[in-house]
Amino acid sequence: MHFNPYGGPAALVAADLVNAGSASELLAGMVRNGMSIAALTEDEATRIGTWARRLRPVFAADPAERPELVNDLLAESACRPYLATHDGKPPHLHYSAEDAGSVGRVRAYTAGGLAHLVCEAPDRLGICGREGCDTAYVDNSRNGRRRFCSTRCATRVHVADHRARQVSA
């Protein structure tokens, strides 16, 4: 499934932030999904990590509960449309001013991305269905029926289910 620029990469950044365990993983998730942030200070990484903990409930919630959660994030991030023209790029939409700093940009970008995704396809967010795995994901599969964060987790569950059926047969 193809998403608009905010519903796709920004929602993927949100998932990566939720799943990150260190400052380097926070930065890697942002860069991997197209954000132009070269480095984070220790304070910025701490503040973005705190923000990531605010994002997790959106992934874990029922689709009907997500709009209220995302509205809270939008309000907290002071998210508002802003046309940006940086780095030689043509005008494009941002949800924070260029001088908002890394933390402000990340907060607005992820809140805006989750807002677009919740409006377009609220059932495309989730937490892995394998017991013991709490990885957040954005379902960009064609049929939108993803239940696991990865093929590895899906395979583990399917193999365990198969073995359980063989034992009971």
- Select from 3.40.50.11890, 1.10.3300.10, 3.40.50.2300, 1.20.1600.10 the CATH code of 6-168: 1.10.3300.10
Closest to 30 (Cα-Cα) out of 110, 93, 122, 91: 110
For tokens 């908002």, the residue is 100
Domain locations in the chain? 6-168
| Contact assessment for residue 43 and residue 54, using Cβ atoms and an 8 Å cutoff | no
Instruction: Say if pTM beats, i.e. exceeds, 0.75.
Output: yes
Of 54-63, 74-83, 120-129, the poorest mean pLDDT is in 74-83
142 pLDDT exceeds 60?
yes
Strands 125-127 and 136-138: antiparallel
4 pLDDT exceeds 80?
no
What is the model's pLDDT at position 56?
97
What is the model's pLDDT at position 79?
73
